[in-house]
Amino acid sequence: MSIELKLQIERPEFKLSIDTVIPKRGITALFGPSGAGKTSVLRCIAGLERHPARIQVGANVWQDDKHFLPPHLRSVAYVFQEPSLLPHLSVQGNLEYGFKRVPKQQRHIQFDNAVELLGLSALLHRNTEQLSGGQRQRVAIARALLTSPQLLLMDEPLASLDDDSKASILNYIDEVQQQLNIPTLYVTHSTSEIVRLADHLIMLDAGQVIAEGEINELLTRGDLPLAHHADAGVMLKGTVAAHDDEFHLTVLNVPGGQLAVSKKNIAIGAPVRARLLARDISLTLIKPEQSSIQNILNARIDALIDDADPAQVLIKLELDDCHCLARITRRALSKLKLNVGMEVFAQVKSVAVVS
Amino acid sequence: MISWLSSSDAGALLLSLKLASINTLLLLLLTAPLAWWLARTRCRLRPVIEAVVALPLILPPTVLGFYLLLFLGPNGWGGQLMQLLGGHPLTFSFAGLVIASMIYSLPFAVQPLQNAFQSAGGRHLEVAATLRAGPVDRFFSVTLPLARRGIITGAVLVFAHTLGEFGVILMIGGNIPDVTQVASIAIYDHVEALDYSAAHSLSITLVAIAFTLLLGVYTLNRRFRLLGSNP
């Protein structure tokens, strides 16, 4: 099932045009500054706003020149920026609202399944006003999932939350994605959210798509602003290789070698993602044997990229089949005589692991 | 039936209550679509219609009564239409009182309903639409429950306002016992005849009814707020 999206929005002093295919797997982030029209794109896909568009999901045309399917007939779920629970219904009432309206044979997500996935069983009989912001957003996500949608739309679902709730919701969104694998379009202007969540990226600016593609490719492209961000980095996909009980470590297989991290309670062989920030990676020409930094990956220099700070330079590294970034000083670049094509060792000072 | 009232006063009170009940029911049903439209529309005529709806609030009841008398009387359009349909003119009849009361209480129904529909719409309806609820489904499962406070407020205001109606009724209903003589007019009659004790009995009964109604609304409102029914 593919999701084709062709859309034109024209308002006074604002134009937006998109022509893309949303991947049928994983989370696609719609990324851009505030006012780039991201929310309008989601609203148009849901049928809440009407603009000239062609939207096709699998074999179903939701909208084209002749057809316009109203929102309640589109198999889409929408998680709004603020949780927007129906105030006259309990948590359970909210969850059942969409669930009951989907015909039985189309329900592939069961009620108890969604409740468990988002940790809501203790809250079912609560009134929505007694919930914290994070709890409300969890209810909103579960309520959306319970319509068993073909496409999940999320409009900055973390924007109204405090930092602790953000971290918790991110974990829930991850879990939902792994368990249910619903194609998701996620609107955000936060770089850390896209690095954390996205598999695929559509970058919007001034009403145009300026780049789209696999997340790590775009994160490491020197001509895009992402690589120049202070928190620039990549998310490497890997698997759990082993646990080391003596030193309380978990060893991960990732492109370019292995990384040891603080022990995680994850089964051997399970997929994990490891976040590597450009500023946490240093380069050496000889494999260091006597260093406290034990995480070392084999890499090849793919490109040298000027950084905003003239004292720094970004090195795009190739690790087997993917890329990452290292931010080093120009002086180091000159002293080590680094150049494109050279084999180097990337010392990783810090890794954040997401299961 | 009510021992401290004479049988004609009890009849007048019952007529008042019957008029208020019928008026409340009809007005809520008939004005709901108008209030819904006013709450949603971007039509340029909206302020004009809102002003017309609010007119009974400030017009002297005699003005309303006078025009209704002309309109519903044997020579008015309304009266002639009724005669064409084989009926009688509506002046000095209970049906005429109902029509007059509906116009007199129009803003008391439309305004609370319009406010309720306005605050019960927007994002919640969009949420319901993305949760597969069609337009009619959304009205019954989201708008009505969220608007219930406004609906109850509107109903009580209309009911109480109709009980207290005087000028318009006197103009078009006259004072026919058991047909158009409602409680407020019976009180006026007693006072004119200097029968203060009968006027007292009927007046204090109306005070008690009005107080009970309002007490009921405020208690309900409190309960609803505790339940968190409205955002």
Show the CA angle centred on residue A158, arms to residues B228 and A33, nearest 5°. 125
Tens of pLDDT, residue by residue over A240-287, are 999 999 999 999 999 999 999 999 888 999 889 999 999 999 999 999
pLDDT band at B223 (very low <50, low <70, confident <90, very high): low
Q: Is the dihedral of CA B100, B25, B105, B187 positive or negative?
A: positive
ipTM: 0.84
The Cα of A76 is separated from the nearest Cα of chain B by a number of Å equal to 7
Cβ–Cβ below 8 Å for A102 and B146: no
Cβ–Cβ below 8 Å for A97 and B128: yes
Residue of B nearest to A99 (CA): B131
pLDDT band at A69 (very low <50, low <70, confident <90, very high): very high
Chain A residues touching residue B116 (CB < 8 angstroms): none
pLDDT at position B227 is 43
Residue A115: pLDDT over 90? yes
Interval A135-146 mean pLDDT: 95
Please, are residues A215 and A198 in contact by the beta-carbon 8 Å criterion?
A: yes
Chain B residues touching residue A151 (CB < 8 angstroms): none
The full DSSP string for B95-125 is HHHHHHHHHHTHHHHHHHHHHHHHHTSTHHH
Residue A45: closest CA among A37, A53, A33, A34: A53
Q: Does A152 touch chain B (CB under 8 A)?
A: no
Please, are residues A51 and A7 in contact by the beta-carbon 8 Å criterion?
A: yes
pLDDT at position B221 is 73
The one-letter amino acid at B142 = V
Cβ–Cβ below 8 Å for A97 and B137: no
Chain B residues touching residue A97 (CB < 8 angstroms): 128, 131, 133, 141
Residue B230: pLDDT over 80? no
Element containing residue B209 per DSSP (H, E): helix B196-227
pLDDT at position B2 is 59
Please, are residues A328 and A283 in contact by the beta-carbon 8 Å criterion?
A: yes
Chain A residues touching residue B130 (CB < 8 angstroms): 46, 48, 71-72, 76-78, 98, 144, 147
Residue of B nearest to A82 (CA): B123
Interval B28-52 mean pLDDT: 92
Compute the distance between CA of residue A39 and CA of residue A167 in angstroms, rounded to an integer.
Answer: 23
Q: Does B119 touch chain A (CB under 8 A)?
A: no
Mutate to test the interface with B, among A88, A107, A137 (most CBs of B within 10 A): A88
Tens of pLDDT, residue by residue over A338-353, are 999 999 999 999 998 8
Return the CATH number of B7-222, one of 1.10.3720.10, 3.40.50.720, 3.40.462.10, 3.30.300.210.
1.10.3720.10
Please, are residues A333 and A313 in contact by the beta-carbon 8 Å criterion?
A: yes
The Cα of A334 is separated from the nearest Cα of chain B by a number of Å equal to 57
Chain B residues touching residue A72 (CB < 8 angstroms): 129-134, 137
Higher-scoring residue by pLDDT: A230, A317: A317
pLDDT cut 90: percent of chain B above it: 53
Interval A197-225 mean pLDDT: 91
Q: Does B42 touch chain A (CB under 8 A)?
A: no
**What pTM does this model have?**
0.81
pLDDT band at A289 (very low <50, low <70, confident <90, very high): confident
Residue of B nearest to A151 (CA): B130
The full DSSP string for B22-70 is HHHHHHHHHHHHHHHHHHH---TTHHHHHHHHHHHHHS-HHHHHHHHHH
Chain B residues touching residue A107 (CB < 8 angstroms): none
Please, are residues A261 and A274 in contact by the beta-carbon 8 Å criterion?
A: yes
Residue A178: pLDDT over 70? yes
Cβ–Cβ below 8 Å for B124 and A97: no
Annotated domain spans of chain B: 7-222
Chain B residues touching residue A129 (CB < 8 angstroms): 228
Phi-psi region of A57 (alpha: psi -120 to 50; beta: other; left: phi over 0): beta
Tens of pLDDT, residue by residue over A142-160, are 999 999 999 999 999 998 8
Q: Does B130 touch chain A (CB under 8 A)?
A: yes
Residue A20: closest CA among A6, A34, A2: A6
Chain A residues touching residue B126 (CB < 8 angstroms): 48, 71, 78, 80
Chain B residues 161-180 with CB within 8 Å of chain A: none
Interval B68-92 mean pLDDT: 84
Among the partner-chain residues B124, B133, B228, the one whose CB lies closest to the CB of A127 is B228
Interval B99-117 mean pLDDT: 92
Cβ–Cβ below 8 Å for B134 and A70: yes
Cβ–Cβ below 8 Å for B129 and A70: yes
Residue B44: pLDDT over 70? yes
Compute the distance between CA of residue A168 and CA of residue A176 in angstroms, rounded to an integer.
Answer: 13
Residue B202: closest CA among B181, B179, B176: B181
Cβ–Cβ below 8 Å for A78 and B132: no
Average pLDDT, chain A: 92
Tens of pLDDT, residue by residue over B162-211, are 998 998 998 888 788 888 889 999 999 999 999 999 999 999 999 999 89
pLDDT at position B8 is 87
Mutate to test the interface with A, among B123, B131, B139 (most CBs of A within 10 A): B131
Give the list of residues 6+ apart from residue B7 with CB closer than 8 angstroms, or none.
Answer: none
The Cα of B153 is separated from the nearest Cα of chain A by a number of Å equal to 18
Residue A317: closest CA among A334, A335, A296, A331: A296
Size of the A and B interface in Cβ pairs below 8 Å:
66
**What's A278's DSSP letter?**
G
